């Protein structure tokens, strides 16, 4: 029995851990296998290993241990340390201020900084993230526990949206509790090793927002507004909702802030300028930056290629906000 145990241990340690580059036992991914009645049992820690690599390692373990005389069956039990996941809510007091565009590009900008980021489109009634990320034809799957498995995008982030779960153009006519349950399914999905979830909330202060702050309290909220006074009045309502729930306000972002003429380079401000920055100072919150009113952002978004995935003036604006958000999370 000792000889076969030694062989099993050597075979298991001969498989390389993709994170450390050491053998599975040397890297403390697995203890020595247990063997009884022809069954070799392995307990494998898969923390920080994605689904694809988990499957490859399991196949390697089965192949290596089944090759040993006397082994009839190999059983691999995968475990994972609970990931501490930070939720960042992106809110606004009204629709049409560019909240979804900011959410998508901010998630991508964070991923380009090395963070493991997931994006949830919590706008149950008007989901737009599948279009923004070019994923309208991609559907999430379910794992063995019947939890949704997010769609992986080519932009380095994973994403879930009600827009992936219903037919295109289908109206979602749900009462508040159903919308809250849908949000729960998206947040409680199999996010793997994702460490930061960006939640693109619907506009206003309704049932989805209440479910979010009561059941899935965010680490912080970022408020999006356009410069004009009406939008800022609504933004104050969103701020009030979060502060009443003791959710920290990370800061304000001013969207559609200045249009640069592509021919002459002149800057005009059809929606005004500086309103969100002034409101930030008045309310005592940080001002995180401005996103320009740029036709390139609209065209890129319609084509499912967010500007933050490349370089340029628009990408720089999103990267600046991502940098300040990163500093806040690290602070």
CA distance 82 to 91: 27
- 231 by Cβ neighbours in 10 Å (0-12 / 13-18 / 19+) ranks as buried
Q: Does the annotation list 258 as a binding residue? A: no
Q: Does the annotation list 93 as a binding residue? A: yes
**Helix spans in 113-175 (H):** 129-132
Rg of the chain on CA atoms, in Å:
24
Q: Does the annotation list 100 as a binding residue? A: yes
Q: Does the annotation list 281 as a binding residue? A: no
Q: Does the annotation list 22 as a binding residue? A: no
Q: Does the annotation list 331 as a binding residue? A: no
Helix axes 313-330, 295-302, angle to 10 degrees: 80
Query: Could you give the angle at the alpha carbon of 156 between the alpha carbons of 135 and 101, nearest 5°?
Result: 60
- Sorted by sequence, the CB contacts under 8 Å of residue 26 that are 6+ apart come out as 13
Q: Does the annotation list 94 as a binding residue? A: yes
Q: Does the annotation list 146 as a binding residue? A: no
Structure tokens at 24: 């599975």
Structure tokens at 178: 């159903």
Helix axes 2-13, 51-66, angle to 10 degrees: 150
- Sorted by sequence, the CB contacts under 8 Å of residue 299 that are 6+ apart come out as none
The answer to whether 88 touches 219, Cβ cutoff 8 Å, is: yes
Binding site: residue ranges?
A: 93-100
Binding site for ATP: residue ranges?
A: 93-100
């Amino acid at each position: 029995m000792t000889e076969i145990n030694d062989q099993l241990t050597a075979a298991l340690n001969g498989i390389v851990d993709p994170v450390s580059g050491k053998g599975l036992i040397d890297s403390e991914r697995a203890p020595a296998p247990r063997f009884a009645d022809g069954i070799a049992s392995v307990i494998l820690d898969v923390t920080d290993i994605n689904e694809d690599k988990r499957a490859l390692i399991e196949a390697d373990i089965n192949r290596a241990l089944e090759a040993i005389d006397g082994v009839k069956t190999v059983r691999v039990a995968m475990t994972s340390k609970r990931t501490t996941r930070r939720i960042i809510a992106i809110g606004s007091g009204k629709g049409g201020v560019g909240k979804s565009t900011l959410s998508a590009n901010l998630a991508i900008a964070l991923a380009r900084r090395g963070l493991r980021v997931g994006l949830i489109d919590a706008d149950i009634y008007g989901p737009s993230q599948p279009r923004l990320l070019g994923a309208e034809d991609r559907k999430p799957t379910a794992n063995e526990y019947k939890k949704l498995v997010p769609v992986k995008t080519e932009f380095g982030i994973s994403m879930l949206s009600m827009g992936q779960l219903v037919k295109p153009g289908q109206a979602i006519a749900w009462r508040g509790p159903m919308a809250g349950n849908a949000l729960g399914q998206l947040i409680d999905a199999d996010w793997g090793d994702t460490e930061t979830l960006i939640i693109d909330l619907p506009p206003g202060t309704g049932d989805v927002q209440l479910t979010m702050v009561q059941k899935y309290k965010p680490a912080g909220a970022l408020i999006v507004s356009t410069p004009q006074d009406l939008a800022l009045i609504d933004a104050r309502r969103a701020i009030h909702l979060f502060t009443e729930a003791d959710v920290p306000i990370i800061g304000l972002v001013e969207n559609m802030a200045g249009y640069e003429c592509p021919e002459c380079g002149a800057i005009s401000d059809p929606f005004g300028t500086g309103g969100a920055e002034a409101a930030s100072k008045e309310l005592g919150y940080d001002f995180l930056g401005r996103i320009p009113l740029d036709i390139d952002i609209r065209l890129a978004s319609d084509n499912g290629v967010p500007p933050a995935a490349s370089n340029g003036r628009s990408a720089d604006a999103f990267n600046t906000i991502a940098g300040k958000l990163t500093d806040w999370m690290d602070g």
